[in-house]
Amino acid sequence: MQREQTTHLNPRSPLVLDTRDLPRRPGAMRKVVRDVPAPESLGVEMIGVPVGATLDLDLRMESVSEGVLVSGTVTGPVEGECGRCLRTINDTVSVTVQELYAYPHSITDETTDEDEIGRVQGDLIDLEPAVRDAVVLALPTNPLCRDECPGLCPECGAHLDEVPADHSHQQVDARWAALAKLKTEE
Ligand SMILES: [Zn+2]
Ligand SMILES: [Zn+2]
């Protein structure tokens, strides 16, 4: 059998799906339910899925006339740092994926760019870009340990939720406060 195109995908890579079991008859369907280790840099600067953490794939591959439609959810743990108080954040991210991968020489293949719509490469589908995009979109760019996190005291760095509500450096700063008051009255 001659391959339509050479593939550089590794069929054993955790986010590469093998479509050989899926009949190329529109409507045919296969479930892909498995746990795989997360690839590197699945996230943004402050928060992301740790490399090697377990990603839970709950997907289905469906034959359509132009290719293979992959849909379902990907769930995994996320670890990050609160942008206000720098505490570690542990959370879970769950994203919905719905991507069409076009067969080589299908109309979709001929009329779209590869970065718009993925391709079935040989018998394989590289799910990683779609999962990465979905996870990055789902993560906050400024993660917080909780919405109302008060952050750190700008004077001493104490966690403001661990010190008395009247925590203040006013006494030390009394003279400065007086100066500041004079300044505003100028
Ligand atoms: Zn915080
Ligand atoms: Zn303080």
pLDDT digit string (tens) for the chain, length 186 residues: 444 445 578 888 899 999 999 999 999 999 999 999 999 989 998 999 999 999 999 999 999 999 999 999 999 999 999 999 999 999 999 999 999 999 999 999 999 998 889 999 999 999 999 999 999 999 998 999 999 999 999 999 999 999 998 898 876 556 666 776 666 665
Ligand found nearest the CA of 143: 1
Q: Which ligand does the CA of 153 lie closest to?
A: 2
At 4 the pLDDT is 47
pLDDT at 1: 42
C-alpha 61/C-alpha 66 separation (Å) is 13
User: Is the CB of residue 99 less than 8 Å from the CB of residue 130?
Assistant: yes
The ligand placed nearest to the CA atom of residue 84 is 1
How many Å lie between the centroid of ligand 1 and the Cα of residue 143? 8
What is the 169 CA–ligand 2 centroid distance (Å)? 6
Output the CA 156–ligand 2 centroid distance in Å.
4
Environment of ion ligand 1 (residues, CB < 5 A): 82, 84-85, 145, 149
Longest alpha-carbon distance in the chain: 87
Q: What is the pLDDT of residue 11?
A: 85
Distances 132 to 10, 22, 37, 65, 160 between C-alpha atoms, Å: 18, 24, 13, 26, 35
What spacing in Å lies between the alpha carbon of 116 and ligand 1's midpoint? 37
Residue 13: DSSP 8-state: S
Torsion of CA 85, 87, 91, 95, to 10 degrees: 50
